[in-house]
Amino acid sequence: MEAEYYESEQDDRALNMEKKKKKKKTKKRKRLDVKMEVISEQPNKIAPLVGYFPSGFDPQKIEEDEEPEVSVFRNKKRPNRLQLVVSPNGSNVNFVGTNYTGEATAAQVCTYALGVLDKETQSLKIVPIASNKIFRLEPKVGGSEICDEEPVEGLKEEIVVSETKADKVKNLTNLYGTKKAKARALKMESLSQKEDLSAQGDMARKIEDIVINKEDLDNSSLYTARNIPPHDSTATIPENAYPLDKIIFKGEWDYLLDILEPLQSGAEIRLNSYPSFVCHRIHRLREIQDETQMKTIACILSYMTHLLKFKDQRSVDHATAAKQHKIPAILRQKFSKMFVDDSFRLTDEKINLIISYVLVLTLFVDNFQTDLSDIAKDLRMTPVSLRQHYEHLGCKLSRVNRVLMVTLPVPLQFPKQRTHRRRK
């Protein structure tokens, strides 16, 4: 009996399944041929607003006589800012939603639209939702101001949160990051560095306290006339002839570690992004035992690279090759003030000044006895024309084992300017 019962139960289930399948097959879907129209947002007409009540309030459960009053407010100065207010009858609570505070300020990854299907006219209209925002209607007790002018407190809190997040990432990188990650973070920070307005006020006060020396003014006029870096013509050693601290300022050394840090960590240096002069002297850095001297030479090589790339970026022929090179913001601002006038391009006088700075730095790297073949290739100049630039700096040239070498004797002796007499 039990076996027969189970068999009959299975038969009933099978019959029910077949009946359901037949019903699905016999049920026909009504097909509508509709005309679709997409309506864009118009300045004179407000787009539909969509709001929801997180508190659980349901306006559909209210009777028709007690339908809530809906109001929309638009900012006169900023028309894109809207405020939706739903006021139920007989209640002291208003539901307020905006499209410029709270979750509406988050990034919008998609847009919203509302479709209305009219079966009688067989038309489908699709209209965008105002400002592509969904309004979160929060309850507010009556008596409080509904239309605030600028509720910026929430925005300020979000800005503070983003800043604290960036600080946390920076601290974690400094504590647990690799040397390569620290170098990358330091470089990104230098690129995004902005001028400190408070420091400008301190600098203005310091300038007022400076006592002007007439002798320095006379020397500066000579320096400007010769179009060369700051120098001391009475120096007794080559290191003081062109003071390095007047070429690379104290606050700039921390932004010139792109060669030193990978060298100390054993990471590979991308030589294709550096000039020939720098590439042919990186192996010397590994042989230097004194860390201070190694840092000085590495930073000088980095400074030279930025100078050469800055020159190429503002030239007509070689701007594309140096376009991807990133110069720290502190150096870019300095170079722009020193070498760029009103136009983006460099004048011949400023190009010669950049060349003079680069040649002086080559002397520091090669201990004031350098070969001009590498740097001539980087400056895209012939050795003959570059020789005149070295002589203009007070250098002497001589042959050593059939190689033309440049030295810097002291005290500096500049070549006398030749004057051409007109023939009568």
- Model pLDDT, residue 321: 77
Report how far residue 93's alpha carbon sits from residue 207's, in angstroms, rounded to the nearest whole number. Answer: 62
- Model pLDDT, residue 221: 38
Report how far residue 371's alpha carbon sits from residue 363's, in angstroms, rounded to the nearest whole number. Answer: 9
Cβ density class 132-153: b for 16+ within 10 Å, e for less: ebebbbeeeeeeeeeeeeeeee
Look at residue 395 and give its three-state secondary structure.
coil
254 and 366 share a domain? yes
- Model pLDDT, residue 217: 42
What value does the mean pLDDT take over residues 195-221?
50
134 and 251 share a domain? no
- Model pLDDT, residue 56: 79
Look at residue 17 and give its three-state secondary structure.
helix
Residue at a domain's end among 111, 144, 177:
144
Report how far residue 238's alpha carbon sits from residue 370's, in angstroms, rounded to the nearest whole number. Answer: 13
Average pLDDT taken over every residue of the chain: 78
Domain count, the chain: 2
Looking at the domain assignment, is residue 200 inside a domain?
no
277 vs 119, higher pLDDT: 277
28 vs 368, higher pLDDT: 368
Q: How does DSSP classify residue 249?
A: -
Tokens at 76, concatenated: 């006169």
Tokens at 26, concatenated: 């016999």
234 and 372 share a domain? yes
Report how far residue 354's alpha carbon sits from residue 336's, in angstroms, rounded to the nearest whole number. Answer: 12
Report how far residue 272's alpha carbon sits from residue 257's, in angstroms, rounded to the nearest whole number. Answer: 17
Looking at the domain assignment, is residue 129 inside a domain?
yes
375 and 274 share a domain? yes
70 vs 302, higher pLDDT: 302
* Residue 361 neighbours by CB distance under 10 Å: 22
Report how far residue 256's alpha carbon sits from residue 263's, in angstroms, rounded to the nearest whole number. Answer: 13
Residue at a domain's end among 144, 173, 202:
144
Please tell me the least confidently modeled range out of 134-143, 198-207, 283-292: 198-207
Residue range 237-286, pLDDT digits in tens: 999 999 999 999 998 999 999 999 888 888 888 888 899 999 999 888 88
- Model pLDDT, residue 340: 87
115 and 233 share a domain? no
Looking at the domain assignment, is residue 302 inside a domain?
yes
- Model pLDDT, residue 391: 93
pTM exceeds cut of 0.85: no
Nearest Cα neighbor of 334 from 190, 188, 184, 206 is 190
Looking at the domain assignment, is residue 16 inside a domain?
no
Say yes or no to pLDDT of 63 above 90: no
Looking at the domain assignment, is residue 364 inside a domain?
yes
Residues 6+ apart with CB under 8 A from 296: 244
CA angle 411, 417, 421 (to 5 degrees): 155
Contact of 174 with 182, CB cutoff 8 Å: yes
What value does the mean pLDDT take over residues 109-123?
81
Residue range 298-335, pLDDT digits in tens: 999 999 999 999 999 888 777 777 888 999 999 999 99
- Model pLDDT, residue 24: 56
Residue range 21-32, pLDDT digits in tens: 665 555 566 777
Looking at the domain assignment, is residue 377 inside a domain?
yes
Report how far residue 344's alpha carbon sits from residue 336's, in angstroms, rounded to the nearest whole number. Answer: 9
| pLDDT-derived band at 175, boundaries 50, 70, 90 | confident
Please tell me the least confidently modeled range out of 138-142, 143-147, 191-195, 327-331: 143-147
- Model pLDDT, residue 205: 57
Report how far residue 225's alpha carbon sits from residue 46's, in angstroms, rounded to the nearest whole number. Answer: 67
Contact of 92 with 5, CB cutoff 8 Å: no
Cβ density class 200-230: b for 16+ within 10 Å, e for less: eeeeeeeeeeeeeeeeeeeeeeeeeebebbe
| pLDDT-derived band at 132, boundaries 50, 70, 90 | low
| pLDDT-derived band at 198, boundaries 50, 70, 90 | low
317 vs 228, higher pLDDT: 228
Please tell me the least confidently modeled range out of 134-143, 144-153, 241-250, 304-313: 144-153
| pLDDT-derived band at 192, boundaries 50, 70, 90 | low
252 and 359 share a domain? yes
What value does the mean pLDDT take over residues 1-14?
56
- Model pLDDT, residue 166: 75
Say yes or no to pLDDT of 234 above 80: yes
Q: Which residue, chain included where needed, has tokens 């230097």?
A: 288
Residue 97 lies in domain:
35-144
Element holding 52 (H helix, E strand): strand 51-52
362 and 241 share a domain? yes
323 vs 216, higher pLDDT: 323
- Model pLDDT, residue 308: 94
129 and 232 share a domain? no
- Model pLDDT, residue 201: 54
251 and 383 share a domain? yes
Longest dimension (CA), the chain: 143
Report how far residue 217's alpha carbon sits from residue 207's, in angstroms, rounded to the nearest whole number. Answer: 16
Q: How does DSSP classify residue 372?
A: S
Residue at a domain's end among 114, 129, 144:
144
Q: How far is CA 172 from CA 168, 177, 245, in A?
A: 6, 7, 34
Residues 6+ apart with CB under 8 A from 286: 263
- Model pLDDT, residue 397: 92
What value does the mean pLDDT take over residues 121-150?
71
Looking at the domain assignment, is residue 13 inside a domain?
no
Contact of 66 with 89, CB cutoff 8 Å: yes
What value does the mean pLDDT take over residues 75-87?
81
What value does the mean pLDDT take over residues 109-121?
81
Residues 6+ apart with CB under 8 A from 131: 47, 80, 82, 99
| pLDDT-derived band at 147, boundaries 50, 70, 90 | very low
Looking at the domain assignment, is residue 7 inside a domain?
no
| pLDDT-derived band at 356, boundaries 50, 70, 90 | very high
Residue range 385-398, pLDDT digits in tens: 899 999 999 999 99
